[in-house]
Amino acid sequence: MFLAKVYVVLKPTVNDPQGLTIKGGLHTLGFGSVKQVRAGKYMEIQIDEADVAIAREKVKAMCQKLLANPVIETYRFDLEALPAPAPAGSGR
């Protein structure tokens, strides 16, 4: 069992009006040293695989097929091992 922490961000060449608006808000609050804000997406995905290489391949395929749009976004992810789920019927 693994936990994938997936980050999807706009490519540097794509304008990010949301990030610009957040930056404006931070400036209004007095954080004048803020130079740039880029807003993106963060997803946590639990995946029930035993092998880390297979888990990595699957998460990569998810990013390419659905989670990121290659026209405007890039992605990266970290994988963390999680304790295996208890088999059905064990414990109370």
Partner 1 sequence: MRFGVIVFPGTWSDRDCYHVFEDVLRQPVSYVWHKETDLSRFDCVVLPGGFSYGDYLRPGAIARFSPVMASVERFAAEGKLVIGICNGFQILCEASLLPGVLLTNAHLEYRCQWVNLRVENDFTPFSSMCKRGQVLRIPISHHDGNYFADENTLNELETTGRVVFRYCTSGGEITPDANPNGALHNIAGIVNKRGNVLGMMPHPERACEDILGGEDGRLIFGSAMRVLTK
Binding site for partner 1 (CB under 8 A): 13-15, 17-18, 21, 41, 66-67, 69, 71-72
Reduced to 3 states, what is the DSSP secondary structure of residue 77?
A: strand
* Minimum CB–partner distance for residue 52 and partner 1 (Å): 26
SS3 63: helix
**Measured between alpha carbons, how far is 35 from 27 in angstroms, rounded to an integer?**
9
C-beta of 55 vs 62, nearer to partner 1 = 62
* Shortest separation between residue 54's beta carbon and partner 1, angstroms: 22
Give dist(CA 88, CA 62) in Å, integer.
28
CB nearer to partner 1: pick between 53 and 71: 71
